[in-house]
């Protein structure tokens, strides 16, 4: 096999996190263009080839800036009549794997599975944090933190496109890599999808007003404090 010099993007993310910085949006979008080109080439073959394990550690950044997609151990060839041929058995890496891929080789996966993994990879690159896996999101949609809540420098357009690619149901994702790529660059509008908001613990007494349960507890504590104060004054 060819030797590919350079670090994988997982290492690049690690270095950025160690420095308490984020990778620039423009730079990540430049890498995304190369990744999109590689996946488009695979998906345009007859029959189409699905990588099924797109993730930062399978993307090598060469010294001159070229991105290489590696590790084709989980590749599937989509044969005619939607019969899927597994080249090597496997399911992929959980953090970047869509729900439909959890069924193993007996479950149907297609190019939209790569689109999900591509979106999840970009999420990690933009935030320095891996996304919540699809199973956790299915049970708790708010477990996926919005990108701009972590990195406000990312444009709303890009955040919207990434969340479109990471839709849990394949039918709700872009139909092609090109469609997703155009949405990232603003050449095509992404559909308006609800972006989950992770609930955080209230930071002040006023924040309790937004949460009925905490509001009741806050009022109860206030009443008990007043009763205690009045009892002290009455002595």
Give the C-alpha separation, 59 to 45, whole Å.
Answer: 21
pTM over 0.85: no
Q: How far apart are the first and last CA of the chain?
A: 87
Domain map (residue ranges) of the chain: 7-185, 205-234
Counted residue by residue, the chain has a size of 235
Looking at domain 7-185, does it have CATH number 1.10.510.10?
yes
Collapsed DSSP state (helix, strand, coil) of residue 24: coil
Among the listed residues 53, 110, 178, 207, the single catalytic one is: 53
Q: Encode 212-222: b = buried (16+ Cβ within 10 Å), e = exposed.
A: eeeeeebeeee
pLDDT per residue of the chain (235 residues) written in tens, 0 to 9: 677 778 899 999 999 999 999 999 999 999 999 999 999 999 998 888 888 889 999 999 999 989 999 875 455 555 554 444 333 334 446 888 888 887 654 457 889 999 999 999 999 999 999 999 999 999 998 899 999 999 999 999 999 999 999 999 999 999 999 999 999 998 878 877 666 655 444 344 434 344 443 344 444 544 554 545 455 555 5
53 is catalytic: yes
- Predicted local distance difference test score (pLDDT) of residue 122: 98
Give the C-alpha separation, 191 to 164, whole Å.
Answer: 7
- Predicted local distance difference test score (pLDDT) of residue 234: 57
Radius of gyration of the chain (CA): 23
Q: 218: closest CA among 229, 227, 209, 226?
A: 209
Biggest alpha carbon–alpha carbon distance for the chain: 90
How many CB atoms sit inside 10 A of residue 136's CB? 14
């Amino acid at each position: 096999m060819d030797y590919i010099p350079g670090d994988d993007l997982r290492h690049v993310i690690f270095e950025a996190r160690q420095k308490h910085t984020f990778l620039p949006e423009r730079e990540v979008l430049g890498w995304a263009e190369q990744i999109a080109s590689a996946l488009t080439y695979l998906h345009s073959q007859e029959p189409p080839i699905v990588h099924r394990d797109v993730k930062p550690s399978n993307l090598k950044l060469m010294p001159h800036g070229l991105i290489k997609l590696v590790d084709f151990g989980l590749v599937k060839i989509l044969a005619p009549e939607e019969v899927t041929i597994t080249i090597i058995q496997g399911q992929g890496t959980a953090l970047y794997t869509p729900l439909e891929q959890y069924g193993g080789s007996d479950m149907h996966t297609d190019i939209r599975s790569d689109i999900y993994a591509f979106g999840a990879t970009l999420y990690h690159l933009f935030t320095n944090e891996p996304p919540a896996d699809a199973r956790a999101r299915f049970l708790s949609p708010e477990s996926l933190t919005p990108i701009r809540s972590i990195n406000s420098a990312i444009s709303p357009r890009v955040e919207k496109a990434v969340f479109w690619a990471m839709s849990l149901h394949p039918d709700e994702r872009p139909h092609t890599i090109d469609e997703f790529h155009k949405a990232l660059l603003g050449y095509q509008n992404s559909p308006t999808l609800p972006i989950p908001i992770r609930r955080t613990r209230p930071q002040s007494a006023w924040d309790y007003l937004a949460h009925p349960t905490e509001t009741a507890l806050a009022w109860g504590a206030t009443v008990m404090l007043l009763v205690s104060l009045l009892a002290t004054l009455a002595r």
